[in-house]
Structure 1
Amino acid sequence: MNAFAEAFATERAASLPASWGDTQHNRWFIVDQLPQAIMLVHEDRSMLSANPMARRLIDGGAIRINDGRLTALGQLGSLPLARLLAQAAAGAALDCAVWFERCLSTGLLHLSRSRHSQAGLSLPPPGSPVLLVVQIDQPALAQSARIDAIAQKYQLSATERHVLMLLADGMTVEGSARHLAVQLSTVRSHVRALLGKTQAPSLMQLLRWTGSAQALPH
């Protein structure tokens, strides 16, 4: 996230091909297509720009704007936002977790100082524009990728992977047996195989690995 944000928070025109022409226009065209919510906000919380994803969050109430100023982003109100913007405007690159009550979703907020010239803005001193990037978590995608990583690392069979997926989704061993239309003893055998291949101390620990960001044990 930091590297991504800094790519737009610092001047990069020299690295772009001449055929791009108006690099500022093309850069913001790319930003408009990204799935992250991206905003430029002045240090005093005045909104300067927002891409389509950010506008959708604003329309849905996850981000609140009053009188042209950013007043809330997830659980962050105006005071903590003002502190974060001041730190970012001073040159700090910040990351913090955010959550959104209406949809019970979570995400990562990144803040870093932008440049007046790059943003195409004419801003009165003091203060600087700050780039805000909100990456909304996608738990289902992350869990699926995590299970794929476990399956490849520990050479799980297709059936073992399927059983792990069902259990990670909250299904019980008994429910998994009914879902797969097999004997309970068959699913228990798959669970024993999963524990043996992964060397997980318990099924609970194995399921924790499917939803954790920590590195898998070697």
Structure 2
Amino acid sequence: MTLYAMQNASILEAGRPMPLGEAEPDSTHALLALLVDELAHGVLVVTAQGRILHANQAARRELEHAAVLSADRGELKVLMPADAKAFQNAMAKAVAGKRSLIRLATESVGFSLAVMPLQRQPGIPCERMALVLSRLGVSESGVFSAFARNHSLTQTEEQVLVYLCRCLSTPEIAVQMQVAVSTVRSHVRSLCAKTASSGVRELVNRVAILPPIAPLPLGQIH
């Protein structure tokens, strides 16, 4: 896995990875590139004008999906007009050295976006910004599956845990799974017992603070 440097739209559209420079495999630069690629959060580095310099795999997937953000000839585009102004304001603040947190959304999907200046010297307009996307859900983290395996959760218990982390109530989970409410309660008791959690609140909090590691490809899951 590499950190993708998208110099033009053809690289993104062709889906071909472009390595970050000619750094040695064991250099700090190359290792940091590998590390960023392991994050479940999408991370981009852009110029003040919105030109994409780098994107990790999670960000690349979002750009290819083009639900909220997209890349057009190497330029980052916010697809919803209502969000474009908020994004432009956040970028303007970043130029001045200020951080912002905004919400980008369509009718079907949405996420938070942190816009952070990559500034070395205070008082000088910032020319590079880091954009960090929130995850769509806790189950997208590779550590979520590891958590389930470590506590010997069944597939059904894992699904119940996903719904709990989405803030669904027991009756709502029962509707989603087409089972009785008592069955869901039984699964919740089992989840709390297996994870040594005092209740649903503690269980969900433990999952929420798991490290945001990207899921492994199917062939690499152990």
For the pair 1:138 / 2:135, whether they are aligned, the reply is yes
Number of aligned residue pairs: give it: 153
Aligned to 2:46: 39
- CA distance 1:181–1:61, change in 2 (3 Å): closer
- CA distance 1:15–1:163, change in 2 (3 Å): closer
Aligned to 1:156: 153
Give the whole-Å Cα distance in 2 for the aligned partners of 1:59 and 1:167.
30
Give the whole-Å Cα distance in 1 for the aligned partners of 2:77 and 2:135.
17
- Deviation for aligned residue 1:159: 1.3
- CA distance 1:143–1:113, change in 2 (3 Å): same
CA contact (8 A) 2:78 2:84 kept: yes
CA offsets per residue over residues 21-75 of structure 1, 9 Å max, x none? xxxxxxxxxxxxxx7554323xxxxx3x51327531287454549xxxx9611xx
- CA distance 1:207–1:14, change in 2 (3 Å): closer
Identical-residue share of aligned pairs (%): 15
The aligned amino acid for 1:57 is V
Gaps in structure 1 of 5+ consecutive residues: 6-11, 18-34, 42-46, 86-95, 115-125
Aligned to 1:196: 193
Instruction: Select the residue among 6, 16, 23 that pairs with 1:15.
Output: 23
Aligned to 1:32: none
Aligned to 1:209: 206
The aligned amino acid for 2:103 is F
- CA distance 1:153–1:97, change in 2 (3 Å): farther
Give the whole-Å Cα distance in 2 for the aligned partners of 1:97 and 1:153.
37
- Deviation for aligned residue 1:166: 2.2
Aligned to 1:99: 102
Question: C-alpha root-mean-square deviation of aligned residues, in Å?
Answer: 4.0
Aligned to 2:97: 84
Give the whole-Å Cα distance in 2 for the aligned partners of 1:181 and 1:108.
38
Larger Rg: 1
For the pair 1:55 / 2:55, whether they are aligned, the reply is no
The aligned amino acid for 1:155 is S
The aligned amino acid for 1:50 is R
CA contact (8 A) 1:97 1:106 kept: no
CA contact (8 A) 1:147 1:161 kept: no
- CA distance 1:15–1:105, change in 2 (3 Å): closer
Q: TM-score, normalised by structure 2?
A: 0.52
- CA distance 1:58–1:166, change in 2 (3 Å): closer
Give the whole-Å Cα distance in 1 for the aligned partners of 2:165 and 2:198.
16
